[in-house]
Structure 1
Amino acid sequence: MKGTKLENFDFVKRLEKLETRNRMLALLCIASFAVSGGLLVKLTLDQKKLSKDASEQTLSTLNIAGEDGVKRFILSNTAPLAPIQGEFIARTVPPGMSGMIFTDPKGNEVGGIGVSSRHTTVALDYRDTPIEAIGLATYQGKTGQSAMLKVMDNPKDTVDVKKIKVNDPEEMKKLQSLMVDRITLGVEENVASLVIKDREGKDRILIGVDNKDQPYIKVLDKNGLEVDASTKKTAKTSDTHL
């Protein structure tokens, strides 16, 4: 009987020690969860704060450059100067126009977008010459809104931008001679029209639908007189309606 009581006593002692270790282990687990939970909450809050800070930046000008330092994309709250031939040309644009421009690997402008309170323009430029190749534009005026697509003639030559900057008369005249509008497509005051011009920029073919829904086609000679397309003779009427 004594042996049995001793064994029972030892068993109770071992059980008490086991329960004590279990309680300590449980407390350690709870403490670990609390610490890890606190860290998780802190990391989550820090991440949210970082995401909030990183998702929005306010800048007046943003330049994106290549590894060689050449600016390839320029975004500004004012119309950026036009970079070409290593020079920068001021633009004649409406007040309050912001813009972004794209450049080639040499840093020359090749296109861009401009936005003001009444104007929006999108342009693709010819290379090595400060002339637009294709232009898209919208405009809001007193008589309503209009939209237009314009295609300029491809330049047969180029100009010296350094001379253009100082308004050299001969160079300015040369630049003007290269700026020839060849195609205009648009809608204005409820008139939809397509105008095709010759190499001198004179209207030669006009196609459209007027504001009374009347279609028309005009073929003009180099003097601006209407020509009968079938006979190639000067027509008496001003419009040829379909």
Structure 2
Amino acid sequence: MNDQKLKRRINFLSYYAIVSSLAFIAIILWMYKNTGAKENYDELYVKRLNIVDETGENLRMVISNESRQHSGIIHGEKLPKRERPSGIIFFNSFGDECGGLVYDGNEKDAGMVLSIDKFKEDQIMQLQYMENTQNHNRKYGLQLWDYPKENAFKERNNEFKKIGMLESASEKKQAYQKMKSDSLLMADRLFIGKGFNKDVGLFIKDKNGNPRIKIYVDDNDNPKIELLDTEGKIIK
């Protein structure tokens, strides 16, 4: 056998080995896909994990670090990129963000928040913890809000953008006041827990965000029950 024939046979065997290997890998992958085989891992390191529906296109949950965190989706529109802490963001069948669990802590402040969003709106309920880690001043408890006007997310965001373009503090204050009178701002309704002032108790506000009922124990262990008018004056 001359050198030329030997070379052709070697080349043929090389090609045959490569093609056979690729075919074998393809068969294994096909069997894995069609038999529903599952892999088990003891540990998994990822920067972001997207949980999707059966189509593989629509988000249901995002678990991410702070650098890759999802900015959120409201009314089917993705919100502009913004800073968000590490945690979990939930998405409903409509495709909108509907709540999440986020957390962080550093030499300045710390916190953890479990939020529940109103449908096609922002948060209306939170289990929250917030702390200034420098002076150890903290607040934690259950917080509730209301949105006086339905389906006002886009209108409210547009007004916030306009306010961001204003230069003077007085102009911004007037703009915020107008938003409040137009029922565009969320209203604080209830807090159960410990406040930054160290009062622990139940604090209820009316639909305009005015404190009306306080049942609490102050920092000096004095129990108090207060009923207030719309101006904040104690009635009883």
TM-score, length-scaled by structure 2: 0.64
**Per-residue CA shift, 1:25-70, capped at 9, x if unaligned?**
xxxxxxxxxxxxxxxxxxxxxxxxx86xx22221111100001321
* 1:140 match: 131
Could you tell me how far apart the structure 1 residues matched to 2:59 and 2:82 are? 22
Report the Cα offset of residue 92 of structure 1: 6.8
* 1:113 match: 101
Preserved contact between residue 156 and residue 184 of structure 2 (Cα < 8 Å): no
Preserved contact between residue 185 and residue 193 of structure 1 (Cα < 8 Å): yes
* 2:17 match: none
In the alignment, structure 2 segments of 5+ residues that lack a partner are: 1-38, 164-174
* 2:22 match: none
Preserved contact between residue 71 and residue 78 of structure 2 (Cα < 8 Å): yes
Report the Cα offset of residue 81 of structure 1: 0.7
Preserved contact between residue 87 and residue 161 of structure 1 (Cα < 8 Å): no
Report the Cα offset of residue 72 of structure 1: 0.2
Report the Cα offset of residue 155 of structure 1: 4.5
Letter in 1 for 2:48: T
1:1-242 equivalences in 2 (<5 Å): 54-68=41-55, 69-78=57-66, 79-90=69-80, 97-117=85-105, 118-129=110-121, 131-141=122-132, 142-161=135-154, 164=157, 167=161, 173=179, 177-188=184-195, 190-228=198-236
Could you tell me how far apart the structure 2 residues matched to 1:179 and 1:207 are? 23
Higher Cα Rg, which structure: 1
Report the Cα offset of residue 144 of structure 1: 3.9
Could you tell me how far apart the structure 2 residues matched to 1:65 and 1:80 are? 14
Change (3 A) 1:168 1:67: farther
Moved more, 148-157 or 80-89: 148-157
RMSD: 2.9
Aligned with 1:116: secondary structure? strand
Report the Cα offset of residue 161 of structure 1: 3.4
Preserved contact between residue 87 and residue 162 of structure 1 (Cα < 8 Å): no
TM-score, length-scaled by structure 1: 0.63
Change (3 A) 1:187 1:93: farther
Preserved contact between residue 219 and residue 227 of structure 1 (Cα < 8 Å): yes
**Per-residue CA shift, 1:71-127, capped at 9, x if unaligned?**
001111014211111222258767xx2021111112111110001011100001100
Could you tell me how far apart the structure 2 residues matched to 1:225 and 1:163 are? 31
Preserved contact between residue 90 and residue 99 of structure 2 (Cα < 8 Å): yes
Report the Cα offset of residue 145 of structure 1: 3.6
Change (3 A) 1:92 1:146: farther
